[in-house]
Amino acid sequence: MIMCHNPCRAVPVPSPGEHTSMARPDRGEADRRIQNLTEKLLGTFEELDFLHSMAAFLARPSGVGDLDGYLVRETVSIFRADGGWLARRGEGSELRSAAVHGIRAEVAEFLNERFLVPLIRAEGLPLLVDDLESALQHRGVERPGADFEGGELPRAFLACPLAANTEVLGVIVLGKNSRGDAFTAGDQKLLTTLAVQAALFIKNATLLRRLEAEARSLGKRVELLESDTTARPDLSRIQSESPTMRRLADQVESAAASGATVLLLGESGTGKSLVARILHRRSARRGGPFVEVNCGAIPAGLIESELFGHARGAFTGAGRERAGLFEEAHGGTILLDEVADLPPELQVKLLSVIEQHRVRRVGENRDRNVDVRIVAATNADLAAAVRAGRFREDLFYRLNVITLSIPPLRHRREDILPLARRFLSELARETNRRVTGFSPAAEEALLEHPWPGNVRELRNVVERSLLLKGAGALVELGDLPPLQALSSSAKRLELSKEPLANAVRGYERGLIVAALERSGGIVARAAEMLGISRTNLHNKLAKHGLLKASTWGDGSHDA
CATH of the domain at 265: 3.40.50.300
474 in the same domain as 388: no
Distance CA 519, CA 523 (A): 8
Residue 441 domain-assigned (yes or no)? yes
pLDDT of residue 359: 92
84 in the same domain as 113: yes
190 in the same domain as 63: yes
Show the CA angle centred on residue 73, arms to residues 174 and 313, nearest 5°. 90
pLDDT of residue 239: 62
Distance CA 331, CA 284 (A): 10
pLDDT of residue 152: 72
Quick one: CA dihedral 232, 233, 236, 237, positive or negative? negative
Q: Which of 407, 440, 460 is the last residue of a domain?
A: 407
β partners of residue 88? 96, 170
Q: Which of 369, 384, 407 is the last residue of a domain?
A: 407
Domain that holds residue 514: 410-543
Distance CA 189, CA 77 (A): 16
pLDDT of residue 548: 47
pLDDT of residue 229: 43
pLDDT of residue 118: 82
Q: Which of 352, 381, 407 is the last residue of a domain?
A: 407
CATH number at residue 95: 3.30.450.40
431 in the same domain as 380: no
Contact 483, 420 (CB under 8 A): no
Residue 213 domain-assigned (yes or no)? no
Residue 558 domain-assigned (yes or no)? no
Contact 434, 465 (CB under 8 A): no
174 in the same domain as 144: yes
CATH number at residue 476: 1.10.8.60
Residue 15 domain-assigned (yes or no)? no
| DSSP-assigned letters across all residues of 219-244 | HHHHHHHHH--SSSHHHHTT--S-HH
Residue 59 domain-assigned (yes or no)? yes
| DSSP-assigned letters across all residues of 417-448 | HHHHHHHHHHHHHHHT----EE-HHHHHHHHH
pLDDT of residue 41: 63
What per-residue string of b and e applies to 422-433 under the rule 16 or more CB within 10 Å gives b?
Answer: ebbeebbeeeee
Q: What is the mean pLDDT of each run of 10 residues along the chain (559 residues)?
A: 46 50 62 69 62 59 65 86 86 76 86 82 78 84 61 82 80 85 85 83 77 71 52 58 87 91 93 92 91 88 89 79 91 94 92 92 89 94 92 94 93 92 89 88 91 91 84 84 56 49 70 74 78 82 67 44
131 in the same domain as 101: yes
425 in the same domain as 300: no
244 in the same domain as 156: no
303 in the same domain as 192: no
418 in the same domain as 401: no
Domain count for the chain, please give it.
Answer: 3
258 in the same domain as 134: no
Quick one: CA dihedral 528, 530, 531, 532, positive or negative? negative
Residue 296 domain-assigned (yes or no)? yes
Residue 218 domain-assigned (yes or no)? no
pTM over 0.85: no
386 in the same domain as 326: yes
Residue 372 domain-assigned (yes or no)? yes
